[in-house]
Homo-oligomer: A and B are copies of this chain.
Amino acid sequence: MKARITAIGNEILIGQVLDTNSNWLATELTRLGFDVENIAVIPDVRAAIESALSSAEGACDLICFTGGLGPTSDDITKQTFADYFGEPLVMDSEVLADVTAFLARRGRTALVNLNRSQAMVPKGATVLRNLVGTAPGSWFEKDGTVFVSMPGVPYEMRKMMNDEVIPRIREKFDLSVIYQKTVLTFGIPESDLAARIAKWEAALDDIEIAYLPSPAGVRLRLTLRGTDREALKAKVGERIAELDKQIPGDIYGYDTDTLASVVGQLLLGKKKSMATAESCTGGLIGHQITSHPGASAYYLGSIIAYDNRVKIGLLGVNEADIDAHGAVSRRVVESMAEGVMGCTGADYAVATSGIAGPDGGTLEKPVGTVWIAAASKTRTISKRFQFGERRDVNIARSAASALNMLRKLLLEEDPAGSEGGAQ
């Protein structure tokens, strides 16, 4: 089945607004089983909207429009749709009640004419309710094509798509069931990973696989279509179990997990705490950990030791070690991890010290050289990494590598924690 996505809005064409709606819709429609044949952005111009409508009619099964539904004069999508389908705009009492209730929740009780105009809908269309904004959507059918018009505000569009459009799509079209699971790996570059799991990948049969690389590792998205969701889930689960044996320890989670959330789950499971000592990562590890609600249950805090005096004065790093080995060295980063455990009382710690760039590199330690340590009460491990030239990427990869090193330390100390953290 063929689908198209069209965003209406001058603000996108001048680059003022990044169109994230089309990407979200593309993911959802693909998951539903549609073949998205194009995405277009067109201006708030009658002829452009008419052309999009007429070229889709009879040529695709579904076209989803976003945008141009505001109450002001530059938004012409609703009127253009009404004219194209030959339907007059009429007042819809249910929509009027929705708009009134929405505005009342925001403390506005007097409806102005602009609000009232939002409750006008094309007579023959199926109205798509909007409970989180004032612009209703609409659903038309003509010559075997479904035309859907939704607001451009991302939050309103997504809710309308989930609550009003997808159920109607499922009813209208004979869609297969789709099961999707994303496997999160860390520590193996994309090309090496592809080589290591080539045999496993070749035996995937009808499971589709997508490689999605990022600074936080390579994500593998597995997609399987069929009729019985539980059967699909079981089959994908079997393959993932096989994959886990091929790259033991390198799968850190699934779907929306992050390295920080997985480390948090492992610590919660053990009822243990952690702290960080950050130099080159400058607070990013702390930020990633504390982005997760409930982090205060296991995260005590950090010393960001950007300056060597802070490394010495607060973390107890030996000045002679800095003089002898440099701040970016095994000795210093291990002392940092142990030092922050000592002064916070944490059970575990990670530390980073590196040259993020663009300056500060030497022949022996070029930009991108980073030492990372992870420590428990009984041992400290550390490793030298050589990343690249970009400061932002070096910082991001250092933070991810540090969290992964701590994850592995937590798993090694108590392998039983693995299941709890990764599921």
Binding site for B on A (CB under 8 A): 12-20, 22-30, 36-43, 48, 210, 212, 221, 273, 276, 278, 280-287, 289-291, 293-296, 299-307, 309-310, 313-314, 343-345, 356-360, 391-392, 395
Contact = CB atoms under 8 A, between A and B. Distances in A.
A386 B260 CA distance: 28
Contact of A391 (B16, B37, B291): B291
Given A38-B42, A343-B313, A282 B291 contact: yes
Given A27-B15, A39-B12, A287-B287, A295 B282 contact: yes
A371 to B, nearest CB: 17
A15 B41 contact: no
Nearest to A51: B38
B42 A13 contact: no
A284 B287 CA distance: 5
Nearest to A392: B291
B300 A301 contact: no
Contacts of A29: 15
B23 A18 contact: yes
Contact of A310 (B25, B41, B344): B344
A190 to B, nearest CB: 14
A47 to B, nearest CB: 11
B313 A357 contact: no
B301 A306 contact: yes
Given A286-B283, A304-B283, A293 B26 contact: no
B26 A307 contact: no
Contacts of A212: 16
A395 B52 CA distance: 41
A42 B39 CA distance: 7
A320 B274 CA distance: 25
Contact of A303 (B12, B15, B295, B302): B302
Contact of A290 (B25, B41, B299, B306): B306
B13 A36 contact: yes
Contact of A304 (B301, B313, B357, B395): B301
A38 B41 contact: yes
A411 B344 CA distance: 35
Contacts of A20: 18
Given A15-B23, A300-B306, A395-B290, A343 B359 contact: no
Nearest to A10: B36
14 contacts: A13-B26, A13-B38, A13-B39, A18-B20, A19-B22, A19-B23, A19-B39, A283-B284, A286-B306, A296-B306, A301-B314, A302-B302, A309-B345, A314-B314
A304 B306 contact: no
A305 B358 CA distance: 30
Given A19-B39, A40-B40, A300-B309, 15 more contacts: A13-B30, A14-B30, A15-B28, A15-B29, A15-B30, A22-B41, A282-B291, A282-B295, A286-B287, A293-B359, A301-B305, A307-B344, A309-B344, A310-B344, A313-B345
